[in-house]
Structure 1
Amino acid sequence: MSRLFRDVDGGELFPQGSVVCIGAFDGLHLGHRALVRHAVGRARVLGVPAVALAFEPLPREFFARDNPPPRLMLARDKVAALRELGIDGVGLLRFDARMAAMTAEDFVRDMLVRRLGVREVWIGPRFHFGNRRHGNLALLQAMGGELGFAAGEIAPVDLRGERISSTRIRGLLVSGEFVHAAELLGCPYSIGGRVVRGRQLGRTLGFPTANLRFPKTPALSGIYATWVHGVFEQPWPSVSSFGTRPTVEGVEPLLEAHLFDYQGDLYGRHIEVEFVAKLRDEEKFNDLPALTAQMHRDAEQARRILSEHRLRATA
């Protein structure tokens, strides 16, 4: 069972020691996965737990609270994905004013050494941490020499010469380049969660939806052709709206997936919505009949795209 912890304060978590990797891990793209797998491999060699340290909220969200940057992945999905990669302990550290003011040296002593008993710590290229981003590989190596741990940096990960980064992936999603984004992520981009009850307006318009909350600034918004996973063994074709629903005065971002030709009740079920193609941006309509007419056009277009997508996948 993987261990989850949130605080720098507290007692020793891994008396036998640990191998630690640190990063934002937003999206868990191929570069992140290389770092995590390297740490897990080293932990298995040393016979100690592998620990991943991340922050919630992300530091850039804390420093830009009035205009937070887009998020690829919610915290719950990040923890689940890290566990699937073999991580034994996940530190989803609270990033608040106190954490922002903590020096890199104090973070090493209090978190890495005292709480985690770090034997090795691994970071990605150009990673910085601590107040004023003073912490880096050189500091980790210097302190490791004093405090008895090793520190290293994995080599940059690229794809056909292109540097892989969460920023690049966000840009690809905004421009609807889902195939390219999937290459950098190592899998198609999707958002998962438990289906919640909405206002049920779609049902009255003939388009019932399975709704997933996304309480962060999403990396994309609009109307999409999508596959829904988790209902049947095979992905189910759907058309999805992701955003703040301007015609019905939505506020919190909501992902609404209409599953074609499906009549069942999905409330409480965990599903995954995979994005295939963008149909259009969100749009505010003058009335519900105009919205309904556009929804029919969106559904027809999504059906065509997904039919072609399925044929390509089986060719």
Structure 2
Amino acid sequence: MGRLFRDVDGGVLFPQGSVVCIGAFDGLHQGHRALVRHAVSRGRQSGLPAVALSFEPLPREFFARDTPPPRLTLPRAKVEGLLGLGVEGIGLLRFNAALSAMPAEDFVQRLLVGRLQAREVWIGPDFRFGHRRGGDLALLRTMGAGLGFAAGEIEPVDHHDGRVSSTRIRECLRQGDFASAARLLGRPYAIGGRVVRGRQLGRTLGFPTANLRFPKTPALSGIYATRVHGVGAQPWPSVSSFGTRPTVDGVEPLLEAHLFDFDGDLYGRHIEVEFVAKLRDELKFPDLPSLTEQMHRDAAEARSLLSEHQRRATA
């Protein structure tokens, strides 16, 4: 298990030195993975631990609190993904007023050198950090020359007609283009979490659901054909609603997955919902019977789409 820390200041975490990479890492897409893998590889060559630095909330969320930008992943998924790539330390730095006002030079001195004893620092193309985005590769190299670390920038990762980016992935999800999103991510888009109790309205209507909270602004909303991982030996076919449930006056985004022909208790279990195809946008229905009728249509369409998806995958 890697070491997780949240603060810029504190004791030395890696006295033997470290190789550091820095990024938002929202979605942990192919570009992010290339950066992290490079840092991990450099660390192994040097016999040093690799450390990934990110922020929570993300800076864009902090500066746009009234209209936060959509998130691809929650912090837990980011941490699990980074650990899976081989890092030994993860900094989910508390992005607050103090950190936003910190000059880039202080960030380097206090965190990169003071806490992490960085020997190498790697960033992605055009990455900026520190107050008013005053830190860049040039600053890292200049300070590193005097403080004992090297700095570098990886090449951008391109796919088809442009750079792989979280912005491109969010647009793919908004359009329901999950195939393109999967190519940019390097895996199918999915949301994981622990199943929580809802209002149990779905059970009353004949559609019991496994509910996952998403306490951020999601990158997509609507009704989807999905597959649930973590329930059986194979992904379980399902139909899912993701949004604020306008018919029943919901507020916080909730992912509700109805697993076809499933009979069991999933409360408290960690599952992952993979998005396969979008069926429609969220709608507000005049009454519950109208909602139930549409749910039957959605379920039938999802079953058909998932069967076809499975048939193509095994052909």
Is 1:302 aligned with 2:314?
no
AA partner of residue 95 (structure 1): F
For 2:185 and 2:302, how far apart are their aligned partners in 1? 23
Q: Determine what percentage of the aligned residue pairs are the same residue.
A: 77
- Return the offset for 1:162: 2.2
Partner of 2:47: 47
Partner of 1:168: 168
User: Could you tell me the TM-score, scaled by structure 2's length?
Assistant: 0.99
Question: Equivalent residues in 2 for 1:179-258 (5 A)?
Answer: 179-258=179-258
For 1:29 and 1:81, how far apart are their aligned partners in 2? 10
Partner of 1:115: 115
Runs of 4+ in 1 over 2 A off after TM superposition: none
AA partner of residue 143 (structure 2): M
AA partner of residue 36 (structure 2): V
Question: Equivalent residues in 2 for 1:37-116 (5 A)?
Answer: 37-116=37-116
AA partner of residue 6 (structure 2): R
CA displacement, residues 169-219 of structure 1 (integer Å, 9 cap, x when unaligned) = 000000000000000000000000110000000000000000000000000
After TM superposition, the structure 1 stretch with the greater mean CA deviation from structure 2, 75-84 or 159-168, is: 159-168
| Partner secondary structure for residue 82 of structure 1 | helix
Task: Structure 2: give runs of 5+ residues left out of the alignment.
Answer: none
AA partner of residue 296 (structure 1): H
AA partner of residue 71 (structure 2): R
- Return the offset for 1:159: 1.4
| Partner secondary structure for residue 225 of structure 1 | strand
What number of residue pairs does the alignment pair up?
Answer: 315
| Partner secondary structure for residue 38 of structure 1 | helix
Partner of 2:293: 293
For 2:145 and 2:263, how far apart are their aligned partners in 1? 63
- Return the offset for 1:263: 1.1
CA displacement, residues 99-157 of structure 1 (integer Å, 9 cap, x when unaligned) = 00000000000000000000000000000000000100000000000111000000110
AA partner of residue 158 (structure 2): D
For 2:111 and 2:230, how far apart are their aligned partners in 1? 38
CA displacement, residues 201-248 of structure 1 (integer Å, 9 cap, x when unaligned) = 000000000000000000000000000011011111000000001111
| Partner secondary structure for residue 132 of structure 1 | helix
For 1:219 and 1:267, how far apart are their aligned partners in 2? 25
| Partner secondary structure for residue 141 of structure 1 | helix
| Partner secondary structure for residue 25 of structure 1 | coil
AA partner of residue 243 (structure 1): G
AA partner of residue 74 (structure 1): L
Partner of 1:284: 284
Is 1:158 aligned with 2:158?
yes
- Return the offset for 1:259: 0.2
For 1:171 and 1:211, how far apart are their aligned partners in 2? 25
- Return the offset for 1:161: 3.8
Partner of 2:17: 17
AA partner of residue 50 (structure 2): A
| Partner secondary structure for residue 188 of structure 1 | coil
- Return the offset for 1:52: 0.1
For 1:14 and 1:163, how far apart are their aligned partners in 2? 33
AA partner of residue 36 (structure 1): V
For 2:63 and 2:161, how far apart are their aligned partners in 1? 32
For 1:303 and 1:203, how far apart are their aligned partners in 2? 19
AA partner of residue 295 (structure 2): M
- Return the offset for 1:270: 0.8
For 1:5 and 1:291, how far apart are their aligned partners in 2? 45
For 1:181 and 1:218, how far apart are their aligned partners in 2? 15
- Return the offset for 1:9: 1.2
